[in-house]
């Protein structure tokens, strides 16, 4: 048995089947990964927007190794230097408030929920308005806040107090505000929803609505934060400041860490005993995060995401103009989606076989999330592979359409041939009853009735 088959066998026997993996990956460097058979792939998923500085960046690796040799975990019963320095860095980059550390995006969003409810508790404000197409996690509360029914199916009854409004529809949000509303949560760009950016008027309108009604504006920056969209955080592109936001994924470059980043209004709402996390903000996790921030700053990756993102988007738009089943491109920075007029999975499968990893999302969208330090040559290589994949896919679609047309024609042909043969012989198919004629049995019955009547 090969190493690949051995790993798949062990995995399928002992790991719960919450995913459907295909490849067995064992090494990553920069924008590339290798499978156990030695094949190399361009990774334009980046761990679902986790590896923003690429796989195994030397500075992140070195920081983790150095910290692991000194102190990995002591719990939050004690002060630790890395956590203090990371909280300061994140606050200075964003809201000038305070930070709560956890381990994942779902935990960060759970933190936002608890923060909003605790803030609004005295005034009986506990409801949170989210958006259709949003994604905030898979815990019960974050799944309830997620605006996708498929995430909630089978787990009912869901926790109460969450109401999805139509994304990019300010009137819908306004109509859902009640006396019990505490907050509105929004993503600057919806990733799982199909790489859909918020309209500028909508995003700014959310801030104005929250100010008007005394509500909190919360942002989910788990996927679109830390330079992904061409600004440090997605909300900054709109010139709007939320009251708090969640952060995770790329913060630790693959080492699990999440954060609730709050502005001054919410900085001291959590007190001792109100919220906690055993592993939140460990010295090791914070070392990884500090190194990640250093790389993004020192290599100017926020600007790089804007520059190369624009070039990548232009390449995608050129492809969209040439292929009839491609409807367009949307997104921001290096968070881009190619929108098809049907399911995207067949295309991502072709791309995978060719050596490019991309993600099908929202059914008909191919999502691209390359590392922020991706090279222009790698983007060009990806465009070339995508061009070839789209051509193969269109040929497959055309062949399938032709086969269906031939099959339909084959069904109609025998009937047409029979009608033509009848026309040549002058014969017609006998009718069950000719007009004006009676079946023998019916004629005999009528004669008998007439005799009786006489």
Instruction: Say which residues have a Cβ less than 8 Å from residue 114's Cβ, sequence separation at least 6.
Output: 270, 274, 275
Q: Is 262 left (phi over 0), alpha (psi -120 to 50) or beta?
A: beta
Q: How many Cβ atoms from other residues are within 10 Å of residue 187's Cβ?
A: 30
- Dist. CA 48–CA 246, nearest whole Å: 16
Q: C-alpha distances in angstroms, 29 versus 53, 174, 240, 305, 314?
A: 10, 47, 36, 19, 26
Catalytic residue among 162, 202, 249, 270: 249
- Dist. CA 67–CA 61, nearest whole Å: 10
Q: Are 41 and 352 in contact (CB under 8 A)?
A: yes
Instruction: Say which residues have a Cβ less than 8 Å from residue 31's Cβ, sequence separation at least 6.
Output: 42, 43, 44, 46, 54, 55, 370, 371, 373, 374, 375, 378
- Dist. CA 119–CA 444, nearest whole Å: 95
Does the annotation mark 249 as catalytic?
yes
Catalytic residue among 135, 270, 312, 368: 135
Closest by Cα among 176, 165, 171, 169 to 132: 165
- Dist. CA 367–CA 332, nearest whole Å: 12
- Dist. CA 238–CA 364, nearest whole Å: 27
Catalytic residue among 44, 101, 220, 245: 220
DSSP conformation class of 94: T
Cβ-count burial 438-450 (b if 16+ within 10 Å, e if not): eeeeeeeeeeeee
Please report the DSSP string for 31-79 in residue order: TEEEETTS-EEEESSHHHHT-TT-BT-HHHHHHHHHHHTT-----TTS-
Q: Are 351 and 385 in contact (CB under 8 A)?
A: yes
DSSP conformation class of 232: S
Does the annotation mark 220 as catalytic?
yes
Residues noted as catalytic: 135, 220, 249
């Amino acid at each position: 048995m090969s190493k690949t088959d051995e790993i798949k066998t062990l995995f399928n026997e002992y790991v719960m089947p919450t995913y459907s993996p295909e490849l067995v990956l064992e090494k990553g460097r920069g924008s590339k990964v290798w499978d156990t058979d030695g094949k190399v792939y361009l990774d334009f998923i980046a761990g679902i927007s986790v590896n923003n500085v690429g796989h195994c960046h030397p500075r992140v690796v070195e920081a983790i190794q150095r910290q692991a040799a000194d102190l990995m975990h002591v719990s939050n019963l004690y002060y630790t230097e890395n956590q203090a320095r990371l909280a300061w860095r994140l606050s200075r980059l964003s809201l000038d408030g305070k930070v709560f550390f956890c381990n994942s995006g779902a935990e960060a969003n759970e933190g936002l929920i608890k923060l909003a409810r605790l803030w609004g508790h005295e005034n009986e404000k506990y409801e949170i308005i989210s958006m259709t197409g949003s994604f905030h996690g898979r815990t019960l509360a974050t799944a309830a806040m997620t605006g996708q029914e498929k995430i909630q199916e089978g787990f009912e009854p869901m926790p109460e107090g969450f109401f999805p409004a139509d994304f990019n529809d300010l009137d819908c949000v306004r109509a859902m505000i009640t006396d019990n509303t505490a907050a509105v949560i929004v993503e600057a760009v919806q990733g799982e929803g199909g790489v859909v950016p918020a309209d500028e008027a909508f995003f700014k309108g959310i801030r104005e609505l929250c100010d008007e009604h005394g509500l909190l504006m919360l942002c989910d920056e788990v996927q679109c934060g830390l330079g992904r969209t061409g600004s440090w955080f997605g909300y900054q592109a709109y010139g709007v400041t939320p009251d708090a936001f969640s952060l995770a994924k790329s913060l630790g470059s693959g080492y699990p860490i999440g954060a609730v980043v709050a502005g001054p209004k919410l900085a001291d709402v959590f007190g001792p005993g109100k919220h906690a996390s055993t592993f939140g903000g460990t010295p090791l996790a914070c070392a990884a995060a500090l190194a990640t921030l250093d790389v993004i700053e020192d290599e100017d990756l926020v600007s790089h995401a804007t520059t190369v993102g624009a070039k990548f988007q232009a390449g995608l738009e050129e492809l969209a103009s040439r292929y009839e089943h491609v409807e367009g491109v949307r997104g921001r920075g290096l968070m881009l989606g190619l929108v098809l007029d049907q399911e995207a999975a067949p295309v991502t499968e072709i791309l995978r076989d060719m050596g490019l990893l991309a993600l099908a999302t929202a059914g008909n969208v191919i999502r691209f999330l390359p590392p922020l330090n991706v090279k222009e040559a790698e983007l060009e290589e990806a465009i070339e592979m995508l061009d070839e994949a789209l051509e193969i896919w269109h040929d497959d679609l055309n062949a399938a359409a032709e086969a269906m047309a031939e099959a339909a024609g084959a069904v109609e042909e025998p009937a047409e041939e029979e009608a033509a043969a009848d026309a040549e012989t002058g014969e017609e198919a006998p009718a069950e009853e000719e007009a004006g004629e009676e079946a023998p049995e019916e004629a005999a019955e009528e004669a008998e009735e007439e005799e009786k009547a006489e």
